[in-house]
Structure 1
């Protein structure tokens, strides 16, 4: 054991024997063995414990005093486990202040095992919480191949993977054999070539120190070491071979260590020459003297006390003295309870007393122990023989002047309430200057910011990934998201795709430039049409107005006026009424226009045919025929629209798919077949008018209206033929603009081709407005 632990053991026994309230009239003795991790010495110690000391015969005892009560040990986990199997046979309680082996918490396999240190499961939990706190997801592991360490590595691997972390490498070395040059080179190469900034070094103190002798790990810049070998730092062992190249980049987990005032005084006053011999006593004692001098404690290291050169000693705690004290006092209190209960029979023999008992009886009192230790803290074992305590997280700092400063920067207490079990003071941690960011980062890939998601690959570990932007319609508001969240239908990601925002509702309004321009042209051409109608009414008795049926001209002009006005139905927020009126009003009014043009064309053709002598077509020249044509052709369109509106009428529709980030408020046509039937019927009327007008274009007349109707139908059909593919390729307000443009353009074409030439003659060439220009040459 370390010499501090040896002194703590002696001090605790002396304090108990001086205490009149604890084990009165009974002297607690001790017998010390040094095994030094040697299997042969372990066997020899077992033989001595269970036999007469110098005979080595098991089960043979002739002692009359100084009975073996229990075994307190601070051995490595594997040795402690092997010894426990023998102690189980003899029912001797075994109390360890060093073994943290998780397996030994099994009360069935190790019913007589107790310990005053936590089991390694809590140590693994503390390391995992530290990794999670600093978001270290890319780590390496170096560990010895002993059973305890390997089990801990499996626990760590599972926990790291559950926290979305990865292990870059795991280097395992022998805890029994010396490291070969090849193995040393491999570990060195792995450390230097690794990309991780955090390495977990998991093994016990002796093994850890042996590896540190071979590999200058703590001199590697840019690496954070998480260690579990507490003794090397707590006892100031690094002072022996202090190297100024050692980096300040270590966080070590140590069991909670507390200095006991009585023990501190004992160390300051004890005379080492009165203690048992120890081959490293000289080295230890000079360190102690130097430490006490640094603390301004007046103590003279006499010349007869052994000395060796030692530059500094900065131990913050006295080894595992707290755990040793708890082990000795737990045994003393259990023995005290057993004696008081009468399970131990006191026997008087001269001036000495001893307790005659069976060892398994003490086991019952250890299980039910509930007392206060020397610091007034609860001391008890759970059903597995474990003592509930936590860990310190220390940060050893090697100063430029050769001093070593050890600061407790955090801790882990598994028994504390959730949220309070893990504490860390980041400001107290001294990081190496090589780190550009503190705390240092250790990730295989940089964090994906909000608006991005991870893209993993089967060839790479799960924490090695690329960052790609969230797909259209999705957003992420946290870092390192595995997937983005799809926005609701009425919402869309913002520019950075970090949150969902309401989509902009888009429709053609009067305020925007397109809406304003179309409104202006609709009203302008409406007024032009009204002016032409006024001219025709004013000159209603002139030959050019009366030609080709004056009433049809009036009907055509009135319908064109309403065509220009109906285009205004397409501007503004669509609702149920406007959606119904848009297409039906447009279809019916345009059918009246085209019916009037068809009637005018037919009348023109009939008029020239009727001028022949004996022609029977003169009876078809009356207004009744033309009105019948207009009424019947328009009525068909009215019926089509009524069927459309009664079966599947248009309705307002929120189109959320056509444009990214925009809700298109538009009119759904309801029945698309009915819509194209309306357009198809208009096309039929236009084609018929075109054909009839084209056949009559060369009739001998000074003012042949058929030529102008032919040209107007060419314009009309060109507009609407180009309208259909354009209409189908657009959406939202631009679809509305296309249809409005088609209505305005075709209406303007009819107005310009048919009526502008007549107005030109009426106003600019009144001399041509007489019958001689309308007669056949």
Structure 2
């Protein structure tokens, strides 16, 4: 701790401790003293800041002990010669504020005393202050808000995809705080803990002669954990017993753990205690730590270069530091005979390794420097306000009041300035410095020295997306990782094509990898759920990416489309040849048999049936979709009604030759025409209802086939479509029944047998069409429909007309009137 004093007459910048005792110096701490001295001298030499006022300071060492800490506090608020708190008697300097490096288990004791007297407390290295109740009226933190560090740790873990970590706290209080405040945030970001414990619980066991409790447990958990990343949360002081623990582990010949990535919070930077230079540092090779942001201060390096015992007055630490840092002893040192190297006092601090004494300013020294300037600016503002108030009081003829230390608070809360490095210094509403953190990568060497390299930062002034930044190329990893970025996961990552499935009874970071269901993909590692491709894409075989579907329809360019089109045209050409053949033999008996006009009509309708199949080939559009179903159903219905008329003609012709028959008057064109028209009109009415209520339209079917988008016609109303087919089936069955009854009627050329067979073929084709139509997908649906049209039409054509063509072409002797008369009964 350091108290700041202000005197109007003399320079009080002595550096000493009122309580002289043997100290175990952390060498970096001496830079903290020099940073304070450097700041005070700059302020005292400034003509603009605190003119006619001299700032000084005293340094107190609490020794990590509650008794000595309380004693030092009493000295702060007492006179020089008596330990009497708040006793104002005698000559004394004015206590301005206290700058302290808090110890978490002594924090409340310090705050409670200084809080009573409203003495400003400016803290640095507040790694664990947030777990204590602070007094917002008197406490100011020169370290940034720890939430930035917490977020930085999470962002660092996420950046390197470290999800399975170990957490070690400097105290049980910090560990409990983490479980209550931060555990949920780690879980939300997918980070789990392989082990969580406090190394601060290690204590001295008098019976066993050392720090034995929990050492075996901690060592075993660190070495056996699968986590390659270990987070250590603490401050300046816990790093020392922690370093001792690591060294003790090695001295006990405990099997050395494989390389780990150590993540240290601010204040836990690696430090060497002078008389423990032999402590091994290789475990920390590649460690990453967070440090309070610092920047080069103009003149500070030169200030350190000039520092040596002969040129320094009032520095009570420099000889002790010099002795331990350079491994020498001064001739006039107390303690008897002089042995070893003699200190000349002219040794150069720049010759010391960085891990012994860094020449570049550290984060804590930077905080101390800013803290001194913050107090100076606040005091300057208070003095300026007092001068203004004096003038006002004098004008009002009132007695001026002396300002006391607590009146510094409003000025300290609102202080804002740019330091000599050009960076802004100000507090937020919680009296915390608005600043960031540097991310340091520690590189160790075989001689147990180490150096920190800045590889990233957390900058609260930057945009949110740039708040965290890190340069991976500058990071040196532990040699065990062969300079490859280490992984730290509970199990191997789920590769693309798989999804995570939580293991029962295990943390969320421990999971099984399950293949994605068919049609789903995962294109990244460790996805919780697979997702389906867009409708116009499909999953590849490995289920890691989506491939665009191809647009398809039954086209004339495809093999199936070409084959069906050739079949339709071939049958159409056959029908044309038959028509020509029948016209050529127009007056022959076989052409004239069973109503010659119905024969020509049926041939034309069969020609249209074959040509109708061509409407189903090619890219669908609104016109073809309307014509496909309606033309097909009406033409086929008319063909069936024509066959029915021919069948009925055969039946009525036989009945008409019976004696005293009255049916003869029914035979003629009117009957056949009425049958054809009436049956066709019924189907036409159904089709008209279909077109007017729910017409077919072109659509893109993206779901029927996995890899294709099918362009097709949507029936809009499948019910009406099957009604149309049902009506055609009814007519075919009625015609089949009539023909079956008339198949044995005596006649020279009885078409009833052919009609029976043709209707049997027709019904068989369309009965098999229904299940095929319902079970097929894509272009196969259209192909099935075309095949049914061609097959049923070809069946009618072959059954009804091939026998006649055979007689006309190869048996002309049967196509004579005498033959017909001879066969009649």
Change in 2 beyond 3 A, CA 1:277/1:672: closer
Specify the alignment match of 1:264 in structure 2.
304
Q: Secondary structure at the match of 1:126?
A: helix
Task: Pick the aligned partner of 2:238 from 207, 210, 227.
Answer: 207
Specify the alignment match of 2:342 in structure 1.
302
The answer to whether structure 1 residue 121 and structure 2 residue 147 are counterparts is yes
CA distance in 2, matches of 1:681, 1:655: 28
- Offset at residue 563 of structure 1 (A): 1.5
Change in 2 beyond 3 A, CA 1:23/1:673: closer
Task: Pick the aligned partner of 1:588 from 623, 626, 634.
Answer: 634
Specify the alignment match of 1:87 in structure 2.
114
The answer to whether structure 1 residue 527 and structure 2 residue 573 are counterparts is yes
Change in 2 beyond 3 A, CA 1:514/1:541: same
TM-score with structure 1 length normalisation?
0.84
Specify the alignment match of 2:333 in structure 1.
none
Task: Pick the aligned partner of 2:261 from 224, 233, 239.
Answer: 224
- Offset at residue 734 of structure 1 (A): 1.7
Change in 2 beyond 3 A, CA 1:252/1:531: same
Question: After alignment, is 444-453 or 38-47 more displaced?
Answer: 444-453
CA distance in 2, matches of 1:26, 1:644: 103
TM-score with structure 2 length normalisation?
0.80
CA distance in 1, matches of 2:46, 2:722: 111
Question: After alignment, is 117-126 or 86-95 more displaced?
Answer: 117-126
Change in 2 beyond 3 A, CA 1:238/1:477: farther
1:12–1:329 contact (8 Å) kept in structure 2: no
CA distance in 2, matches of 1:167, 1:104: 21
- Which runs of 5 or more structure 1 residues have no equivalent in the other structure? 290-299, 346-355
CA distance in 2, matches of 1:507, 1:718: 27
Question: After alignment, is 15-24 or 558-567 more displaced?
Answer: 15-24
Specify the alignment match of 2:367 in structure 1.
323
Specify the alignment match of 1:695 in structure 2.
741
Specify the alignment match of 2:220 in structure 1.
189
Q: Describe how 1:140-539 pairs up with structure 2 within 5 A.
A: 140-145=166-171, 147=173, 150-151=176-177, 155-174=181-200, 177-178=203-204, 181=212, 183-215=214-246, 220-228=257-265, 230=267, 232-233=269-270, 240-243=277-280, 245-246=282-283, 248-257=285-294, 258=296, 260-261=300-301, 263-270=303-310, 276=316, 281=321, 284-286=324-326, 302=342, 314=355, 315-317=357-359, 320-331=364-375, 334-335=378-379, 358-370=404-416, 373=419, 378=424, 380-400=426-446, 402-435=448-481, 438-444=484-490, 454-456=500-502, 459-466=505-512, 480-483=526-529, 503-539=549-585
CA distance in 1, matches of 2:466, 2:727: 80
- Offset at residue 680 of structure 1 (A): 2.4
1:105–1:386 contact (8 Å) kept in structure 2: no
1:199–1:225 contact (8 Å) kept in structure 2: yes
Task: Pick the aligned partner of 1:640 from 686, 692, 695.
Answer: 686
Specify the alignment match of 2:609 in structure 1.
563
Change in 2 beyond 3 A, CA 1:392/1:589: closer
CA distance in 1, matches of 2:558, 2:275: 79
Question: After alignment, is 457-466 or 583-592 more displaced?
Answer: 457-466
Specify the alignment match of 1:705 in structure 2.
751
1:637-685 Cα offsets, whole Å, 9 max, x none, are 3333334334443333433443335433333334434333332232222
Specify the alignment match of 1:751 in structure 2.
797
Q: Secondary structure at the match of 1:434?
A: helix
Question: After alignment, is 274-283 or 420-429 more displaced?
Answer: 274-283
Specify the alignment match of 2:20 in structure 1.
none
Specify the alignment match of 1:139 in structure 2.
165
2:328–2:342 contact (8 Å) kept in structure 1: no
CA distance in 1, matches of 2:516, 2:257: 39
- Offset at residue 428 of structure 1 (A): 1.7
2:593–2:749 contact (8 Å) kept in structure 1: no
Specify the alignment match of 1:547 in structure 2.
593
Question: After alignment, is 326-335 or 252-261 more displaced?
Answer: 326-335
Change in 2 beyond 3 A, CA 1:268/1:256: farther
2:521–2:532 contact (8 Å) kept in structure 1: yes
1:101–1:148 contact (8 Å) kept in structure 2: yes
The answer to whether structure 1 residue 679 and structure 2 residue 710 are counterparts is no
Question: After alignment, is 55-64 or 20-29 more displaced?
Answer: 20-29
Specify the alignment match of 1:352 in structure 2.
none
1:287-323 Cα offsets, whole Å, 9 max, x none, are 699xxxxxxxxxx96258899xx99764434664433
- Offset at residue 40 of structure 1 (A): 1.4
1:381-427 Cα offsets, whole Å, 9 max, x none, are 55544344432222221124554232222222334444454332222
Q: Secondary structure at the match of 1:206?
A: coil
Question: After alignment, is 643-652 or 268-277 more displaced?
Answer: 268-277
Change in 2 beyond 3 A, CA 1:201/1:758: same
Question: After alignment, is 455-464 or 629-638 more displaced?
Answer: 455-464
CA distance in 1, matches of 2:577, 2:72: 126
2:284–2:442 contact (8 Å) kept in structure 1: no
Change in 2 beyond 3 A, CA 1:560/1:381: closer
- Offset at residue 371 of structure 1 (A): 5.4
1:75–1:96 contact (8 Å) kept in structure 2: yes
- Offset at residue 614 of structure 1 (A): 4.9
CA distance in 2, matches of 1:540, 1:125: 99
CA distance in 1, matches of 2:281, 2:576: 101
Specify the alignment match of 1:348 in structure 2.
none
Specify the alignment match of 2:764 in structure 1.
718
CA distance in 2, matches of 1:680, 1:14: 105
1:78–1:147 contact (8 Å) kept in structure 2: no
CA distance in 2, matches of 1:158, 1:510: 63
CA distance in 1, matches of 2:661, 2:650: 15
The answer to whether structure 1 residue 36 and structure 2 residue 63 are counterparts is yes
2:228–2:488 contact (8 Å) kept in structure 1: yes
Q: Secondary structure at the match of 1:65?
A: coil
1:105–1:119 contact (8 Å) kept in structure 2: no
Q: Secondary structure at the match of 2:144?
A: coil
RMSD of aligned alpha carbons:
4.1
Question: After alignment, is 1-10 or 597-606 more displaced?
Answer: 1-10
Change in 2 beyond 3 A, CA 1:239/1:271: farther
Q: Secondary structure at the match of 1:199?
A: strand
2:281–2:444 contact (8 Å) kept in structure 1: yes
- Offset at residue 431 of structure 1 (A): 0.9
Specify the alignment match of 1:19 in structure 2.
45
- Offset at residue 164 of structure 1 (A): 3.3
- Offset at residue 143 of structure 1 (A): 0.4
- Offset at residue 201 of structure 1 (A): 0.4
CA distance in 1, matches of 2:684, 2:145: 90
Specify the alignment match of 1:295 in structure 2.
none
2:427–2:433 contact (8 Å) kept in structure 1: yes
Specify the alignment match of 1:293 in structure 2.
none
Change in 2 beyond 3 A, CA 1:104/1:278: farther
Q: Would you say how many aligned residue pairs link Structure 1 and Structure 2?
A: 755
The answer to whether structure 1 residue 727 and structure 2 residue 778 are counterparts is no
2:44–2:53 contact (8 Å) kept in structure 1: no
- Which runs of 5 or more structure 2 residues have no equivalent in the other structure? 1-24, 206-210, 251-255, 330-339, 391-401
CA distance in 1, matches of 2:418, 2:806: 119
Question: After alignment, is 19-28 or 245-254 more displaced?
Answer: 19-28
Change in 2 beyond 3 A, CA 1:623/1:226: same
- Offset at residue 573 of structure 1 (A): 2.2
Question: After alignment, is 502-511 or 84-93 more displaced?
Answer: 502-511
Question: After alignment, is 365-374 or 165-174 more displaced?
Answer: 365-374
1:102–1:120 contact (8 Å) kept in structure 2: no
1:216-274 Cα offsets, whole Å, 9 max, x none, are 69963342111026465256879712437435220111223557235413534458998
Task: Pick the aligned partner of 2:625 from 579, 585, 588.
Answer: 579
CA distance in 2, matches of 1:13, 1:643: 97
Q: Secondary structure at the match of 1:241?
A: coil
CA distance in 2, matches of 1:78, 1:764: 120
